[in-house]
Amino acid sequence: MPRESSAVSALLSLLTHRYARSRSQRTTIQLVKAYRIQRIKGGMKFTCTHCEHNVTTLDFDIKAGNLRTQAATAINAHATQAHHTPMIISPSDSQLRSWR
């Protein structure tokens, strides 16, 4: 068995695993977001695209989890309640934009 083929199969199984995991988190589903993200001093601001409602990562406690996720969840809840436009939060989004 050549070494290359075991390396390729290891890579393939890694990719397959990542693909399966991202599928389970629904990161591959792209929907129109109900919020805009702006970098602000000390954090990030999430503003509703339908109105002036906004939250910032400063409003949340890091002890409760990822601040961006909490802020996005809050905006999502607002959009659902106020505008009836639920959205899917993409974890990959916050990973791509490593604002700090």
Interface residues with Zn ion (CB under 5 A) are 48, 50-51, 53, 82
Structure tokens at 15: 């990719």
**Nearest approach, Cβ of 65 to Zn ion (angstroms)?**
23
Q: What is the dihedral of CA 32, 15, 91, 33, to 10 degrees?
A: 0
Residue 47: CB partners within 8 Å, gap ≥ 6? Answer: 35, 36, 37, 38, 53, 54, 75
Residue closer to Zn ion (CB basis): 76 or 90: 76
* Closer CB to Zn ion, 27 or 53, in the complex: 53
Shortest Å distance, C-beta 54 to Zn ion? 9
Closest to Zn ion by CB, 27 or 85: 85
